[in-house]
Amino acid sequence: MTENNIIHILVAPPEKIETSLVKEVAGILQKDPYETRLLLSGVIPKLFGHYQSTKEAEDVTARLKALGLTVVVSSDTDLRQSKAGHFTAHALTWGDHDVTFLDKTGRTLKIENKNVFLILKGKFFLYSDKEITTTKMKFSLSGTLMTGGFPVWRKVQERSKDTSTEVGYFVRLYDRVWIEPRVEIIENNFDYSSLGANITPSSFTNFNALVTQLKSVFPTALYDDRLSQPAGASSFDRAEETELNCKLVYLSLRAVDNPGALK
């Protein structure tokens, strides 16, 4: 069996982590109790196991579900691979029963209010290094000796790195069918003119107002903001981690919404 056919098991964190639960899960997974407790903790669902056969994965899944855990089985292809880029919206217009999103290339995407399953809000940290060159005067001992003791100073350049951090938020809309988002909005890369008179000079305030409106336009959609909390935020320098966390949250919520879903 090839690597792409590996079957993954992911488990959503339980509300309470009892010692007895940790012991039973550790026995099923054949892991150390301390490692198992770490897997069960936090706010983001985690990958608990990787199996070469569907039967083996289903057997472990059944035992974990019997303990009351939310468990999802996913193929490596679905979990690791993605479509060629998301539809990243730059603006939108509100309809009576839908929202039309527009990207920077002029493409549009209309989504009806009944077709959104999840509104997922997340936070990112974008780190960038900038090299800084400064010129300083440095005392030259050799030059001073050559002039018979007259102090000589020379210009020297010193290089250093300055790390800047950009903090922002994103929101993604998902349907019940595909693991990838239908559309994504990034806080500092969006035209908020659709807010009308409610627009402010702050992108953070505008972003939150936009999310609130999206929640009202898609009233049947689940709303999850755990990835915007400190424990769930990711670095965009680690884009794969961000993508994986979004997928894990989506799959765990869809499993609860549709207990029979395994994909």
Residues 199 and 114 in one domain: yes
In the prediction, which pLDDT does 260 show? Answer: 45
In the prediction, which pLDDT does 2 show? Answer: 41
Residues 109 and 224 in one domain: yes
Domain count, the chain: 3
SS (H, E, C) the chain: CCHHHCEEEEECCCCCCCHHHHHHHHHHHCCCHHHHHHHHCCCCCEEEEEECCHHHHHHHHHHHHCCCCCEEEEEHHHHHCCCCCCCECCEEEECCCEEEEECCCCCEEEEEHHHCCEEEEEEEEEEEEEEEEEEEEEECHHHHHHCCCCCCEEEEEEEEEEEEEEEEEEEEEECCCCCCCCEEEEHHHCCHHHHHHHCCCCHHHHHHHHHHHHHHHCCCCEEEEEECCCCCCEEHHHHHHHHHHHHHHHHHHHHHHCCCCCC
Residues 171 and 60 in one domain: no
Domain containing 32 — which CATH number?
Answer: 3.30.1390.10
In the prediction, which pLDDT does 100 show? Answer: 97
**Spans of the chain, pLDDT less than 70:** 1-4, 81-85, 126-130, 139, 143-144, 148-149, 162-164, 231-239, 257-263
In the prediction, which pLDDT does 262 show? Answer: 37
Q: Is 118 a member of any domain?
A: yes
Q: Which domain holds residue 151?
A: 132-162
Residues 60 and 149 in one domain: no
In the prediction, which pLDDT does 76 show? Answer: 84
Residues 100 and 120 in one domain: yes
* pTM for the model: 0.78
